[in-house]
Amino acid sequence: MAETKRIVQELLNRIGVKVDGRDPWDIQVHDDRFYSLILKDKNLGLGESYMDGWWDCRRPDEFLCRILLGRMNEKVRGSLKMLLPLLHGLLFNVQSRRRSHKVVQKHYNLDNELFLSFLDPYNQYSCAYFNGTDDLNEAQTNKLELIAKKIRAHEGGHVLDVGSGWGGLAKYLAEKYACTVTGINLSEEQITFAREFCRGLPVDVLYCDYRDVSGEYDKIVSVGMFEHVGYKNYRAFMQVIHSCLKNGGVFLLHTIGGNESDVRADPWIAKYIFPNSMLPSLAQITDAAEGLFLVEDFHNFGPHYDKTLMSWHGKFLDVWPLLQHKYDERFKRMWEYYLLSCAAAFRARYIHVWQLVLTKYGTPQPQCRYA
């Protein structure tokens, strides 16, 4: 135990982090099992030990950002257990039709009260656009308007919203641009809410896997859903979108992405938050789109997701007294670690959020203005 403690403390010192130090990113270790666990299980052990209260920090986001900037995850050799997700991802299609429901049941079908307690009035569970504002609600409206401009939304246009969440984008496009919107989703909780949220508008929300979509649409959007498609299905996803998009139409893909092509997710995120999720690289996206679409516009605004997640975290802490009758302290620490570790990853530019505007061959080049 003494040797593992020395090794971990030495590694932390290299990135400017001290155990029981005074800086906000320094950590306080309450259980010495922490040291052997993170040497063995790396990211998974770091998250699980936080959930169990083995360590604390005044600014976990800053601590985790330093770990990523120092590439600590590459300097610590993991156990055989850490190789299994890689092998599983290589051998199996973990985002198959049957497995696609796992993330819905684990995450998106959680009580709506939890999510809606920290989201904006349009219930946007994706990156806001803090362009000229520090207010989360305004920033999320900015993001909706940004999407509307990029797809050239117009009265009478029929929009397909792939992975439509709680219906906020559909409602915005229907109210502000008089669009007809068809949303598809696999979360019963979200579908029930979205149908009521969009009542009286030309919005239809369907329980439907993206592989089963039919019909033709003037515009197609996918916001925060591509992370659940998986690298074995990227091409099939693009083929479905291509077949459903009318000639001259516009497809907007909004997704979190990673710097390098991978076949697995962060092990802690995959176990506790988004089972079978996977962040695409830009190379994987463009490879999947090759021969089907032209990339008209590429927009990286990852720093805005750092700010979004920190806003969500602040609101979550504010409403926790109203939620704690449903969730225990370990859940609270898990949710905090989720929001703060993701904020750290964006801050370290370890991951990004991208919007790509795609069109079919032969489409006149759209003007993508997003001042």
Residues serving a catalytic function are 342
Q: Please, what's the b/e burial string for 279-290 (b: 16 or more CB within 10 A of its CB; e: otherwise)?
A: bbebebbebbbe
Amino acid at 111: D
Residue 29 · residue 39 · CB < 8 Å:
no
**How far is CA 166 from each of CA 103, 306, 339, rounded to the nearest angstrom?**
16, 22, 20
Q: Which of 225, 245, 172, 232 is nearest to 202 (CA)?
A: 172
Ramachandran assignment for 299, one of left (phi > 0), alpha (psi -120 to 50 degrees), beta (any other): beta
Q: Which of 345, 356, 338, 357 is nearest to 258 (CA)?
A: 345
Residue 274 · residue 227 · CB < 8 Å:
yes
Half-sphere exposure of 178 (CA within 13 A, CB side): 3
177's CB contacts (< 8 A; 6+ apart) are 148, 153, 154, 155, 157
Q: Which residue has the tokens 């225990």?
A: 328
CA–CA distance, 196 with 190 (Å, rounded to integer): 10
Q: Is 181 helix (H, G, I), strand (E, B) or coil?
A: strand
CA–CA distance, 226 with 254 (Å, rounded to integer): 8
